[in-house]
Structure 1
Amino acid sequence: MTPQVLVLQHVPWEKPGRIATAFDEIGLGYQILNVVDKKKPDLPSFDEVAGLVIMGGPMGATDYDKHPGLKAEAKLARAAIAVNKPVLGVCLGHQIIATALGAKLHRGEQPEIGFAPIKRVDKHDYFSMWDKQINVLHWHNDVVGLPEGAQLLARSPLTKVQAFRAGSALGLQFHLEVSSALMEEWLDEPSMVKDLKAAGGSKSKLREDFAQYNPLLHPLADQVFTGFAARCNSYARRLVRAAQEGAPKDPVIC
């Protein structure tokens, strides 16, 4: 089987968006699964996974009693990072990776929903085009600490860890993946609109802000996600070579 990227989605509207577009543009296959409520999820063979993407969702990253599949996602993230398999987490996914690596999860001082600035703390090749400060789309209540040994990439006044690198993993608390079409899907989802209004926002204001910031964010998102897709593609080729040469498969480390 040709190695594919595994995309773990938790709710129908939190789609990979621009991340999937980056895979499509280089012809890299991916599989989208929702295993959040499955205690023993049926996941693809680990040695056939070219990369792992963990998307957002309204649940807590360590809410294992209500959503037992989250524990399997955390184990998969640790195993992938242990063998240097590319991993990307967005919002909840960012928190799942961080907590899987030992960071603490807690409720933020207040919800961070809508466009607001983050400050780049450190440069990485994923973020080589970024200015020191940029307005991005936020949509979260929980926050995480920085995993031990991880590189902090961005922060905001309300959230100390907005982006980090930990080995082969990249965590993004904010939402670069949201295209204009996906934004409209979010604004058609009652639970998202409820969160937005509870945080003092409105559909009209969010649409105005998206129109203002999207022209700058789009190329930055493309840079991050095409870079990640390229890493996954390289890893896929490595898996194919290993299979052809009869080399040992990726071990699953829990």
Structure 2
Amino acid sequence: MKTALIVRHVPREGAAGFLQPIEAAGYHIERVDVAGTDFPEVDLSEPDLLIMMGGPMGVYEADIHPWIPVQIDKLSTRIAKNRPTLGVCLGSQMIAAALGARVYPGGTTELGFAPVTLNESGAASPLRHLAGVPVLHWHGDTFDLPDGVERLASTPAYANQAFRRGRNLLALQFHAEMGEDPRFEEWLTHFWADLDCAGACRHALRADHARHGPGAVAAGRAMIGEWLGALDS
């Protein structure tokens, strides 16, 4: 059976809605937490599929989180081998860093449900399933577009919302996996500082989650399923 490894930067940010298409594609899923003592020994090049999820830390905070340069180094090795890799939010920023791009605070917190704007490449990619669909945004960091990749989507606040390199590398700044996961309540509790920065209201976000979440997850699952089905072996 094919193997998929989910890298979790914090327990409350898992693969959520993406689990269904990953399992449907025939992958046996395992997980590793970056804070675990075994993480430095994990070979990120070994799994058939690597999924790196989000987290509240910044790629530039290696002095606080010593696992960050370890992960970037291992990720660089995997990407050089063209192994299938998906990054979400912090995971996308890790991919950008592993490709040599600068990751930095973006100056504004993008938080809430809103659609991404697909460019021509994005509309011809698996992201086509997201066209017009409000998905969850929750970040304040961004990155320069790495050399040799293809931008797929943008928003007014941040130009680099998604990119890919070939068939096997996909980076998503937004959270199309979130919309039906009960851990969203933990985001509202634990990431309260983000709400203050964005001027966001918990009650409004909760209502938007109920209204837009199912559609976002359905579109996100279709996107990931199509992406997985087109991977180079």
Length-normalised TM-score, structure 1: 0.81
Q: Distance in 1 between matches of 2:4 and 2:38?
A: 22
Whether the 8 Å contact between 2:5 and 2:29 is mirrored in structure 1 is yes
Partner of 1:227: 226
Q: How far off is 1:3 after superposition?
A: 4.3
Deviation, structure 1 residue 128: 3.0
1:166 and 1:61 mapped to 2: Cα distance? 20
Structure 2 counterpart of 1:65: 63
Q: Could you give the per-residue CA deviations for residues 63-86 of structure 1, whole angstroms, max 9, x where no partner exists?
A: 222212122221232222222211
Structure 1 residue runs without a partner (length 5+): 236-254
> Which amino acid is the alignment partner of residue 179 of structure 1?
G
What is the rounded CA distance, in whole Å, between the counterparts of 1:228 and 1:43 in structure 2? 25
Question: For the structure 1 residues 95 and 181, does the alpha-carbon distance in structure 2 shift closer, same or farther, using more than 3 Å as the test?
Answer: same
State the alpha-carbon separation in 1 of the partners of residues 184 and 174 from structure 2: 17
The CA distance in 1 between the partners of 2:58 and 2:93, in whole Å, is: 9
Paired amino acid for 1:6 = L
| One-letter amino acid of the structure 2 residue matched with residue 105 of structure 1 | V
Q: What is the one-letter code of the residue matched to 1:69?
A: W
Give the match for residue 176 of structure 1.
176
CA contact (8 A) 1:5 1:53 kept: yes
Deviation at 1:222, TM superposition (A): 1.0
For residues 177 and 216 of structure 1, what CA distance do their matches in structure 2 show? 11
- What does residue 201 of structure 2 align with? 202
The equivalent residue for 1:7 is 6
Please show how residues 6-25 of structure 1 align to structure 2 within 5 Å: 6-25=5-24
CA distance in 1 between partners of 2:230 and 2:42 (Å): 21
With over 3 angstroms needed to count, the CA separation of the structure-2 counterparts of 1:169 and 1:38, relative to structure 1, is farther
Query: Which stretch shifts more, 193-202 or 149-158?
Result: 193-202
Q: Equivalent residue for 2:93?
A: 95
- 8 Å CA contact 1:39, 1:68 repeated in 2: no
CA radius of gyration, larger in: 1
Q: Show CA shifts across 1:225-247 (max 9, x none).
A: 22344457x74xxxxxxxxxxxx
Alignment pair present for 1:151 and 2:150: yes
3-state SS of 2:134 partner: strand
Structure 1 residues 46-125: aligned runs within 5 Å: 46-47=45-46, 49-121=47-119, 122-123=121-122, 124-125=124-125
Unaligned runs of 5+ in 2: none
Q: In structure 2, what is the equivalent of residue 251 of structure 1? A: none
Q: Is residue 139–residue 174 contact of structure 1 (8 Å, CA) maintained in 2?
A: yes
User: In structure 2, what is the Cα distance between the partners aligned to 1:45 and 1:10?
Assistant: 14
For residue 127 of structure 1, report the CA deviation from its aligned partner.
1.8
For 2:65 and 2:195, how far apart are their aligned partners in 1? Answer: 24
Residues 17 and 182 in structure 1, CA contact (< 8 A), matched pair in contact too: no
Are the structure 2 counterparts of residues 216 and 180 from structure 1 closer, same or farther at C-alpha, using a change threshold of 3 Å? closer
Instruction: Output the CA distance in 2 between the equivalents of 1:38 and 1:66.
Output: 16
